[in-house]
Amino acid sequence: MDKATIRARTRGAVVATAAVALGLTLTACGGDGGGKKGGDTASTTPAAASGGNKAQSGGPTTQNTEVLATISGTGGIEVVINAAKRDTGGFVTVQGIVKNGSKDLFSAPGWQGSEQELRSNGASVAGAALVDKVGKKRYLILRDTDGRCLCSQFTTGIQAGQEAPFYAQFPAPPANVTEVDFQLPTMPTATIKISG
């Protein structure tokens, strides 16, 4: 074999090796949701966390300034509901803001509810429910197959004087039901209108 042939084969091998290395690098950067099983559910999508002042990744963010209800609890905690929207998938999404008007970190004690499956949701609105008083039905929060609520979680709590957006998803009442009670453990009940 002459030197020109050897050089040509060596260059071909180098190019092939570089192409394989590039392919592996691109595959490694492709991302699979950070190792999470299956696709993300509504409980693990939008609304990023930042210094404990935002809701955990997990659903629609609240940008609506309309106020459907304001719920004042003890210790300076306030829940403002900005939207209750009926979605085409057969569920209702409630959105709003939790305001911590106290001087302490708020970790939503009791808000995850007493249901065994939801206790692992920690600082969240997992115990929320919608009540159709006319139809006499109570709609509990939706959850995924691992028992995670389709709702916001405040993983690091809400700092004193701060606020955090929240969302919670429920099965939709019948189409003729336009008004429901929003219930959250430890807080007073509020009547809200469903749109959409």
pLDDT digits (tens, 9 = 90+) for 4-27: 545 545 454 444 444 434 343 333
Q: Are residues 105 and 158 in the same domain?
A: yes
Identify the domain containing residue 6 by its residue range: 1-30
> Is residue 21 domain-resident?
yes
Is residue 107 domain-shared with residue 85, that is, in the same domain?
yes
Percent of all residues in the chain with a pLDDT value above 70, rounded to a whole number: 67
Mean model confidence pLDDT for the chain = 76
Number of Cβ atoms within 10 Å of the Cβ of 25? 10
* 56-85 per-position pLDDT tens digit: 445 555 456 799 999 999 999 999 999 999
Across the beta sheet with 129-132, what order do the strands follow? 137-140, 129-132, 179-183, 190-193
The answer as to whether 37 is a domain residue is no
What is the tally of structural domains in the chain? 2
Same domain, 52 and 17: no
Shared domain check, 14 and 97: no
For residues 54 and 116, state if they share a domain: yes
Distance, in Å, from the CA atom of 14 to the CA atom of 8, rounded to the nearest integer, reads 10
Look at residue 132 and tell me whether its pLDDT is greater than 80.
Answer: yes
Does residue 172 lie in a domain region? yes
The reply to whether 19 and 59 lie within a common domain is no
Same domain, 75 and 17: no
Looking at the structure, tell me whether residues 51 and 77 fall in a common domain.
yes
Q: What is the pLDDT of residue 105?
A: 96
In this structure, is residue 92 part of a structural domain?
yes
User: Is residue 76 in a domain?
Assistant: yes
**pLDDT-derived band at 52, boundaries 50, 70, 90:** very low
pLDDT tens-digit profile of 80-123? 999 999 998 899 999 999 999 999 999 999 898 877 777 778 88
- Whole-number pLDDT of residue 39: 35
Is 81 inside any structural domain?
A: yes
pLDDT confidence of residue 113: 80
CB 141 within 8 A of CB 129: yes
User: Which segment of 31-35, 45-49, 126-130, 140-144 scores lowest on mean pLDDT?
Assistant: 45-49
Looking at the structure, do residues 119 and 146 belong to the same domain, yes or no? yes
pLDDT for 59 equals 57
Task: Give the confidence band of 31 by pLDDT, cuts at 50, 70, 90.
Answer: very low
Q: What is the CATH number of the domain that holds 54?
A: 2.60.40
Looking at residue 68, what is its pLDDT?
A: 96
pLDDT of amino acid 123? 87
Does 35 fall in a domain?
no
In a shared domain, residues 15 and 67: no
Q: Examine the domain organization and report whether 3 and 77 are in the same domain.
A: no
- Please say whether the beta carbons of 153 and 121 come within 8 A: yes
Q: Is residue 36 part of a domain?
A: no
Contact 97, 163 (CB under 8 A): yes
